Structure formats: C-alpha cells, structure tokens
C-alpha cells in the first residue's frame, strides 16, 4: 500500500497526503490536491523546501556531501571522464559506447561555427562589456539564425543540443577576443572540445597556443563538476522558461542570465576579488571573517542552500589546486590565503553552527586563474560547463508526458481593493480609498468617499 501522511487542522478536520519516495529513498509530500481539498496552498519562499519536479539526471545529498550524475559519483567522473562524455551521459542517461561518443563529438564539431553575420553583433558592444552580457545576448540571438521547429524530431533535437553546446563555447571565446581587441580564432575540427576552446581563446595570428595537458585536464574537470546540479537557480530558470515552450535558445539565455549573479555563478569571480583584497590588505583574512560574521558582507565561496557539509566539488577543486599550483613556477599565494581562510572559518562557531562550508566556487577561480583564464571570463566558463545540464533538463522536461507550464502561486499581502482616484484629487498620503466590500457595490461615488474618513471596513 502506498504511504500517506495525515494533515490535521485545529478544527479537527484531516486530509491524507500521498508520500512520494524518490530513487534514493528521499520522501516528499505530494500536495497537488491540497488546494482542491482545503482551499490552501503551501508557502515556501525561495523554495527552501520544495521539490519542483521529478528528475532522473542528478542526485545530491547535501547532508552527506554526495553528488552523482545518472548514478556516477562526481569524483569518478572528474578524475576519469571527459566533458563531452559527461554531457552525453547527462543528456541521454548512459555513458556512450565508443561509436556513440564519436558521433556525438562529430555533431558537436560540425556545429561549432556561428553564422558569420552574427560576428557583426560583437562590434556593437563596448570593448569593456562584461562577457556574460555578450553571452546572454548572443545565445538569445541564435534563435533568429537557427529556427526551431514546433515539435523537433529526435534528430532536430540532437542538432539543437549540439548547436547550443558548441556555440556557447564559440561565442564565449569570441567575446573574449572582442574584450582584448584581437581577431577571432575559428574552431578547428582537429581539436577536442576543451582544447578547441583554449585554442580559440589564446591563439592569435601571431602566435600559436601551446596546449598544456595538465591545464586541459584541469579545465575538463572544472567543466565536468559544473555540468549539472539539479534544481539550482539557473536550471530552475531554464525549466520555468522552457515550460512555456519558449524558444530553446531564449530558454538557455534565461539560464545564463540567472547564473550571472554573485549568489550563484558570479561567486567564482567574487571569491578571487575577495582573496585579492585580502592579499593586498596584508590582513590574514580575519577582517573579512569578522565582516562576514557581522553581516556587513558574505564570505564568498562559502555556504550553500543544499550542502550542509563540504561541497564535494570544492574538495575536487582543492585537490586540483594542489596538483596544478604545486607544479614548478605555478604557485599562487592566493591559494595559501584561501586555505588559511577555510581553516579559520571552519574553526569558528559562526560558520560551524550554520553549516557553512566551502562551495564549488571557493577554489574553482584559482584553477581558472592558473589556466590563464581572465577574471571576467570565470562565470562564462561556468556557463559553458552548465550548458549540457540545462539542456538535459530542457530535454527531460519536453519528453515528460505530464509536463505543464510552471506557475507558482503567491500569498498576496498588498492593499485590499480600492478605488482609482484622479490625480487632481489625490492627497500625498491618501491616494486611494478602500472599497467596503468585495461583493457589495458601493452606493456612493468614489469622489464622495475621498473626503470621508479612511474607514476601510
């Protein structure tokens, strides 16, 4: 028999709510019928306690620090896999066999150019524009160049996925070239996904970029650990925008916009700014910890809505920092500052009592910095990594027969119904008069009521 929970009101009235059990045993109250049965909705601001969908893509346990894509632990994927393989896994549910991986790589390669006319768009942006502003705009603009059929076939869907994965990468590299005022470098079919990106970023007509296998591996791991994280802010934005059946390029652009904020993907940039400020101030970080504790600022790269222990991605990034920054000539004093800051925070009751641990962004910026990725491109790299995750959710949703438009409710807390008052008759603090009742028509004209007392009834 399926499990139910009983909701009992003070009046003694009771209703049974079905309990849904997920694949890893996590339980959820199914409240779909709650309003029909009781007239009530649930109030859960910022979705602290709401599962917005069922999804078979990513599992995470914030108490235990577990993250798995389609069942595979993130640590294993980051160590052994390639980004393109992980993207296939997220999208289609299983690791590809060799021929599937070859086909997937081929379609990604074949889709890596953007329409040449789109290159003119870059010229219209100021040179110092943040690359995220270019990325979100250019990705939305793809919709004008690559029309999407109303109901894409599997083949058309595969092409959309390849376009977005490949072109987000190409646009990102072109944005950087615009930023530094250099001619763009086109993608090459001879290079793999990550190598191709680094080559587009750092090659120029006057010098070839020498690929360092350790840096390639580090960027590969960076993209893998960012590839999906279930219903985070940007993925939820993608699901909500996608549920209206909006154009998929606009939908992914919505995800990029949501990612930009410093509470989310923008945090990797904010962490490096913070570490740089600590370095320049000569302080040991205490001042920043104290400012965070007194709520003047936040310790960037710390805390997470879901993780109440170490974010497993932060542990992977920290390990990678040791590997990369331990190489001769690669050391970075900011890494030492970060480790000291982590140690100090994790022995401080403020952070411990609130379960605030380093999140993925705490060490990831240092990896990007070591790879020579410019500061303003950090969140763009996150977006390249997250694109397959967003697309996997978009795809999962469009193949779900129960997919409906996402439309949360709200609890209204504004004024009760009031009359419109012409501007010539408004007083400074009394711009409307409450109606007496929602059901009864008022016998007097609104104008007459203005001079009467504000008895709102």
Residues facing residue 6 across a β-bridge: 16
Catalytic residue at 361? Answer: yes
CB of 1 to ligand ACO, least distance (A): 36
Radius of gyration of the chain (CA): 26
Of 77, 292, 371, 450, the one binding ligand ACO by CB under 6 A: 292
Instruction: Produce one character per residue of 396-410: b if its CB has 16 or more CB atoms within 10 Å, e if not.
Output: bbeeeeeeeeeeeee
Note whether 263 binds ligand ACO by CB under 6 A.
yes
If one counts every other C-beta atom within 10 angstroms of the C-beta of residue 140, the result is: 18
Note whether 304 binds ligand ACO by CB under 6 A.
yes
> Candidates 37-45, 292-300, 317-325, 410-418 — which segment interacts with ligand ACO by CB under 6 A?
292-300
DSSP per position, 364-394:
HHHHHHHTT--GGGHHHHHHHHHHHHHHHHH
Of 302, 357, 390, 394, the one binding ligand ACO by CB under 6 A: 302
CB of 234 to ligand ACO, least distance (A): 8
Number of residues this chain uses to bind ligand ACO (CB under 6 A): 19
Note whether 354 binds ligand ACO by CB under 6 A.
yes
> Candidates 25-33, 100-108, 262-270, 276-284 — which segment interacts with ligand ACO by CB under 6 A?
262-270
For 272, half-sphere exposure in the C-beta direction (CA atoms, 13 angstrom radius) is 20
Note whether 287 binds ligand ACO by CB under 6 A.
no
Note whether 299 binds ligand ACO by CB under 6 A.
yes
For 70, half-sphere exposure in the C-beta direction (CA atoms, 13 angstrom radius) is 18
Contact flags string 356-395 toward ligand ACO, x per CB under 6 A:
x--xxx----------------------------------
Any idea which residue has 């995800």 for tokens?
Answer: 255
Of 187, 255, 285, 301, the one binding ligand ACO by CB under 6 A: 301
CB of 311 to ligand ACO, least distance (A): 7
Instruction: Produce one character per residue of 252-267: b if its CB has 16 or more CB atoms within 10 Å, e if not.
Output: bbbbbbbbbebebbbb
Catalytic residue at 332? Answer: no
DSSP per position, 198-210:
HHHHH-BTTB---
In three-state secondary structure terms, 327 is coil
Can you give the binding site for ligand ACO, defined by CB under 6 A?
Answer: 263-265, 267, 292, 295, 298-305, 354, 356, 359-361
Catalytic residues: 304, 361
């Amino acid at each position: 028999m399926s499990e139910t929970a009983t909701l009992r009101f003070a009046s003694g009235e009771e209703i049974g709510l079905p309990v849904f059990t997920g694949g890893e045993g996590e339980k959820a109250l199914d409240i779909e019928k709650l309003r029909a049965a009781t007239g009530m909705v649930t109030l859960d601001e910022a979705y602290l306690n709401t599962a917005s969908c069922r999804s078979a893509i990513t599992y995470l346990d914030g108490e235990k620090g577990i993250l798995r894509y389609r069942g595979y632990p993130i640590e294993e994927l980051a160590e052994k896999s390639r980004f393109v393989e992980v993207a296939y896994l997220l999208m289609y549910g299983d690791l590809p066999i060799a021929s599937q991986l070859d086909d997937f790589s081929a379609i990604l390669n074949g889709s890596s150019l953007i329409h040449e006319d789109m290159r003119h768009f870059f010229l219209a942006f100021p040179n110092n524009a943040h690359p995220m502003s270019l990325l979100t705009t250019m990705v939305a603009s793809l919709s004008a160049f690559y029309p999407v059929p109303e109901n894409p076939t599997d083949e058309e869907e595969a092409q959309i996925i390849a376009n977005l994965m490949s072109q987000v990468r190409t646009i990102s590299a072109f944005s950087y070239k615009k930023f530094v005022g250099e001619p763009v470098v086109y993608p090459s079919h001879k290079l793999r996904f990550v190598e191709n990106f680094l080559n587009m970023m750092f090659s120029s007509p006057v010098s070839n970029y020498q690929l360092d296998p350790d840096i390639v591996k580090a960027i590969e791991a960076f993209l893998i650990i960012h590839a999906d994280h279930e219903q985070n802010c940007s993925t939820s934005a993608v699901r909500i925008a996608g549920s209206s059946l909006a154009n998929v390029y606009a939908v992914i652009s919505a995800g990029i916009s949501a990612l930009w904020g410093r509470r989310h993907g923008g945090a990797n940039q904010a962490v490096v700014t913070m570490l740089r400020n600590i370095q320049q101030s000569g302080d040991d970080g205490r001042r920043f910890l104290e400012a965070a504790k007194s709520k003047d600022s936040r310790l960037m790269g710390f805390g997470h809505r879901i993780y109440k222990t170490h974010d497993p991605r932060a542990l992977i990034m920290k390990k990678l920092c040791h590997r990369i920054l331990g190489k001769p000539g690669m050391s970075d004093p900011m890494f030492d500052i970060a480790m000291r800051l982590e140690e100090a925070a994790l022995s401080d009751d403020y952070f411990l009592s609130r379960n605030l641990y380093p999140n993925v962004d705490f060490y990831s910026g240092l990896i990007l910095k070591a790879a020579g990725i410019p500061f303003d491109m950090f969140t763009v790299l996150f977006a390249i990594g997250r694109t397959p995750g967003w697309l996997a959710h978009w795809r999962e949703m469009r193949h779900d027969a129960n997919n409906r438009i996402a439309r949360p409710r709200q609890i209204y807390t504004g004024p009760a119904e009031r009359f419109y008052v012409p501007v010539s008759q408004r007083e400074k603090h009394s711009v409307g008069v409450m109606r007496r009742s929602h059901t009864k028509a008022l016998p007097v004209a609104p104008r007459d009521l203005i001079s009467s007392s504000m008895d709102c009834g």
